[in-house]
Amino acid sequence: MYRSKNTEVGYVYKKPNAFLRKTTALAVAALMAGAGFGLGTGANLILDGRTASGRADYYHETAASGEDRIHTEYTGYAPTLLTSSNANVSIVEMVKKTANAIVSINVSSMMTANNFFGRGAYEYETKSAGSGVIFFEDADKIYILTNYHVIERADSVAISIDDTRQAAANYVGSDRSEDLAVIAVLKTELNDAGITGYTIAAFGDSDLLEVGETVVAIGNAIGEGKSATAGIVSALNKEINIDGVDYIAIQTDATINPGNSGGALINTNSEVIGINTAKISGNGVEGMGYSIPSNTAKKVIDQIMTHGSPQKPYLGIEGQNITEDLLAINAFLPGLGIYVSRVYQGTGASEGGLRANDIITGLNGSPIETIEELSAEIKRIGVGGKLSLEVYRMDGNRNFTKLSIEAVIGDSNAGAINF
């Protein structure tokens, strides 16, 4: 559910907040690896563009208060403190300067399950843990950056600085394709909870990082409160794929555990240079954690704080290319195209009638062979545009029927979160 497999080496990327507890137990839930269908693992077509929503400012809407328009003093991200690593600083100093800008995030979600005795469905509450970074404040609120996957299923979210006193948070905006989100806490809520002493994190320039630099990861590991782990920058500009989405990340050997998602990776200047988001799990694999670079995070912050959640054109399928090599060993296939391994419910793909195991061979009257071609066309047309797909559908006897399907391009950031 929270990871995808690299089939070449057998590694599994875990999003390290993937840590769920029922309220009545402390058992850590099992993580589920992504799986392929005969033809190999899929590439998730959460196809994204970079167009802004066009709003002059941003909103938070609740059922109780209706539309609550938020005006802030935000005019762009603050400059970084320094431009080079301070090799003489101690890890103790690094943590002291940053700790009060890092929050523990506790998420409550209502889940639905079927009754084993055929008496209908029932609801139960789960708890999960994550982390966040305070990056800005105005007269009324503090603003916190975290991972999208930390809050995507939330019904309520609370933050804590001292892991004792908590205050409720509200959703501001997110960019699912970058796995980043912004939440806010009213200062009146902080005062009522007795929360004081928070600080605002300084973000460094991740483009200046060098392999071998000392870094510290700070976050709410295992949901047991804030902790720090030290290491180095192991590699830069690493390409990783989580749940079918590609990311460019910083690799570190600083230990990243469940609950660390959304927390900070800091340099020796106590600047945030990464947002911790994933680790590799596999036999014999240790010390391979990943962080979203701070320069990526700053761009997302600026977008959300000035325009709201960006529109991201989205079809809603997972799939993979059917190549000449695959045709050679699967002669029953109708030809080159895109094998659809999964269709997400409520998306343009599912509403248009696309199904898992369909094979897409045509797009808007022209042949199509690759996911990359489909992605480019979805980005070009944008949210609300229509796709005309030529599809082959297989029955149980491996016989194919040719279909024409119309699908409307959706927005992967629209209406996903409301707390």
Indicate if 325 belongs to the active site.
Answer: no
Contact yes or no for 47/316 (Cβ under 8 A) = no
Amino acid 35 reads: A
Indicate if 309 belongs to the active site.
Answer: no
Choice among 179, 205, 358, 411 that is catalytic: 179
Choice among 48, 60, 104, 149 that is catalytic: 149
Closest among 300, 199, 218, 304 to 261, alpha carbons compared: 218
Q: What whole-number distance in Å separates Cα of residue 70 and Cα of residue 75?
A: 14
The 3-class secondary structure across the chain, one letter per residue, is CCEEEECCCCEEEECCCCCEEECCCCCCCCCCCCCCCCCCCCEECCCCCCCCCCCCCEEEEECCCEEEEECCCCCCCCCCCCCCCCCCCCHHHHHHHHHHHEEEEEEEEEEEEECCCCCCEEEEEEEEEEEEEEEEECCCEEEEEECHHHHCCCCEEEEECCCCCCEEEEEEEEEHHHCEEEEEEEHHHHHHHCCCCCCCCCECCHHHCCCCCEEEEEECHHHCCCEEEEEEEEEEEEEEEECCEEEEEEEECCCCCCCCCCCEEECCCCCEEEEEEEEEECCCCCCCEEEEEHHHHHHHHHHHHHHCCCCCEECCEEEEEECHHHHHHCCCCCCCEEEEEEECCCCHHHHHCCCCCCEEEEECCEECCCHHHHHHHHHHHCCCCEEEEEEEEECCCCCEEEEEEEEECEECCCCCCCC
Alpha carbon 24 to its chain's center: 28
Indicate if 179 belongs to the active site.
Answer: yes
Choice among 261, 270, 294, 309 that is catalytic: 261
Contact yes or no for 121/137 (Cβ under 8 A) = no
259: its two tokens: 């609950």
Q: What whole-number distance in Å separates Cα of residue 111 and Cα of residue 122?
A: 8
Q: Which residues are catalytic?
A: 149, 179, 261
